[in-house]
Amino acid sequence: MALIGAAHQLIEKKIGIIEANAPMYATPPMGAADQPFLNTAVRVATDLQPIPLLRALLAIETELGRVRRERWGNRRIDCDILLWEECGATRSHEDQELVVPHPALLDRDFALVPAAAVAGDWLHPMTGRKLAEELKARGYRLAALS
């Protein structure tokens, strides 16, 4: 949890003000990973556009000790852009370097639950429903850590 706190500090220092913070959830590993994950989400006010924001998040991951070895393997920290303020069709940026909203957002409880906690009224461009409605329709539930 200290690592997530450090990430939040770096986000506020290098990216913008954290306006909302979701609870923290422990979830089982996915893919090649064999460690449980801690998941949360923040809503950040920033002047950065999507690609510079992605690059800033990758730099924060590196600063916090992340080394990329294998897709979906164990990792020290993982910072993703799940959604963006503007609604509309899914947009790719610079040859698929980034797709927003995250293409798997609705299929992953560990992403949708925290995202809905910080942006429940955000309309998903593919379904036209608020994230809170998507969450309810899927029945995803995670127990927040105390």
pLDDT at 99 over 50: yes
Any bridge partners for residue 38, and if so which? 26
Is there a contact between 82 and 40 (Cβ–Cβ < 8 Å)? no
- pLDDT reported for residue 5: 95
Return d(Cα 66, Cα 145) in angstroms, integer.
Answer: 23
Q: What percent of the chain has pLDDT over 70?
A: 91
User: 44: pLDDT confidence band, cut at 50, 70 and 90?
Assistant: very high
Is the sign of the CA dihedral 129, 138, 117, 17 positive or negative? Answer: negative
**The pTM is what?**
0.88
Determine the pLDDT at residue 89: 44
The CA angle 31-36-41, to the nearest 5 degrees, is 90
Q: What domains does the chain contain, in order, with CATH numbers?
A: 2-138 (3.30.70.560)
